């Protein structure tokens, strides 16, 4: 009888703990939803005045009466407005992918057209830097569970980073590999590489390396955070392997339909 009483007592404690944990999870979810709503509202509010600034800059740029230092100032204003535009776009994207209430559309899809699409978008940037871009993928469809738009966003982020952080004349390779339970998409470069300390913080909002070769490139420090959130919400994961001065490989693993 003592044993039974002890078991019942333990069960009561367990169920109270479970209820407390469930309440905490619910509260965290609400907070995350609130954060993403604030982020989205602020970004939308910033978009309108920014569009006005860019519009006026364009009008003034067409004015032949503006020369010398006036024109230089206009150029600086234009660059600043573009930088802010990229930041606002990235913040909007982050608010979307971090929203726990948002539906996550997922379908069974062949990943290879998404690889081709991302590379097509970045071919001009790569050729400007004289980079050799290679794809290594099976000749048959490679099915994974994701949304085509989401996968294209992730691949575009990873390939554009590989292009940005790789010196002229080197190579960027995208590989598609089938494993028993997952599909691997690897973006490898032989660029500037990432120190071990930086690797720990890569997927944190606004993180940008202080490596002088990296800061020379424009960026918001949000691309990898957005990519990681996207991959995670499709039940996948993202990993990095890198050595400073040698290059980096980013690997995305997505569930295969027969394993999901
Ligand atoms: P952004 O490129 O806009 O700064 P990301 O979130 O995409 O933001 O990347 C964060 C940081 O990680 C970059 O600022 C850069 O320092 C580093 N990084 C990302 N990809 C690479 C890469 N392929 N090679 C070297 N460094 C990289």
* DSSP per position, 65-77: T--HHHHHHHHHH
Provide, rounded to the nearest whole percent, the portion of the chain with pLDDT above 90: 85
The answer, yes or no, to whether any atom of ligand 1 lies below 6 A from the CB of 194, is yes
The answer, yes or no, to whether any atom of ligand 1 lies below 6 A from the CB of 192, is yes
Residue 260 has pLDDT above 70, yes or no: no
CB 234 within 8 A of CB 256: no
Find the mean pLDDT for residues 11-34. Answer: 91
Residue 114 has pLDDT above 70, yes or no: yes
- 82, 133, 219, 240: residue to mutate for ligand 1 pocket, most atoms within 8 A of CB: 219
Maximum distance among all alpha carbons in the chain?
A: 97
Provide, rounded to the nearest whole percent, the portion of the chain with pLDDT above 70: 99
Give the C-alpha separation, 129 to 170, whole Å.
9
Residue 59 banded pLDDT, cuts 50, 70, 90: very high
Residue 5 banded pLDDT, cuts 50, 70, 90: confident
Question: Could you count the other beta carbons within 10 Å of the beta carbon of residue 225?
Answer: 22
The answer, yes or no, to whether any atom of ligand 1 lies below 6 A from the CB of 253, is no
Predicted local distance difference test score (pLDDT) of residue 259: 64
Predicted local distance difference test score (pLDDT) of residue 181: 95
Question: What's the gap in Å between 164 CA and the centre of ligand 1?
Answer: 8
Query: DSSP character for 222?
Result: -
Residue 119 has pLDDT above 80, yes or no: yes
The answer, yes or no, to whether any atom of ligand 1 lies below 6 A from the CB of 203, is no
Tens of pLDDT, residue by residue over 161-211, are 999 999 999 999 999 999 999 999 999 999 999 999 999 999 999 999 999
Find the mean pLDDT for residues 140-164. Answer: 95
For 166, the 3-state DSSP assignment is: coil
CB 32 within 8 A of CB 98: yes
Predicted local distance difference test score (pLDDT) of residue 6: 87
Ligand 1: nearest atom to the Cα of 226: 6
The answer, yes or no, to whether any atom of ligand 1 lies below 6 A from the CB of 221, is yes
Residue 257 has pLDDT above 70, yes or no: yes
Question: Could you count the other beta carbons within 10 Å of the beta carbon of residue 182?
Answer: 20
Q: Which residues contact 118 (CB under 8 A, 6 or more apart)?
A: 152, 155, 156, 159, 174
Residue 160 has pLDDT above 80, yes or no: yes
């Amino acid at each position: 009888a003592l044993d039974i009483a002890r078991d019942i007592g333990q069960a009561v404690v367990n169920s109270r703990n479970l209820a407390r944990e469930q309440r905490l999870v619910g509260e965290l979810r609400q907070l995350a939803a609130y954060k993403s709503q604030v982020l989205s509202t602020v970004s939308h509010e910033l978009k309108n005045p920014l569009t006005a600034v860019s519009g006026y800059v364009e009008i003034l740029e067409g004015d032949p009466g503006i020369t010398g230092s006036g024109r230089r100032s206009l150029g600086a204003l234009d660059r600043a407005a573009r930088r802010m535009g990229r930041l606002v776009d990235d913040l909007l994207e982050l608010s979307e992918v971090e929203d726990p209430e948002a539906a996550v559309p997922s379908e069974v899809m062949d990943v290879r057209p998404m690889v081709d699409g991302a590379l097509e978008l970045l071919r001009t940037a790569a050729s400007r830097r004289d980079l050799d871009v290679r794809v290594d993928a099976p000749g048959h469809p490679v099915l994974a569970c994701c949304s085509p738009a989401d996968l294209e966003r992730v691949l575009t982020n990873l390939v554009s980073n590989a292009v940005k952080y790789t010196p002229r004349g080197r190579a960027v390779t995208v590989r598609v590999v089938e494993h028993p339970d997952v599909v691997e998409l690897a973006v490898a470069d032989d660029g500037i590489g990432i120190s071990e300390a930086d690797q720990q913080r890569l997927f944190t909002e606004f993180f940008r390396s202080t490596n002088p070769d990296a800061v020379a490139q424009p960026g918001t420090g949000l691309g990898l955070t957005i990519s990681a959130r996207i991959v995670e919400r499709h039940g996948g994961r993202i990993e990095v392997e890198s050595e400073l001065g040698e290059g980096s490989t980013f690997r995305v693993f997505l569930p295969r339909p027969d394993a999901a």
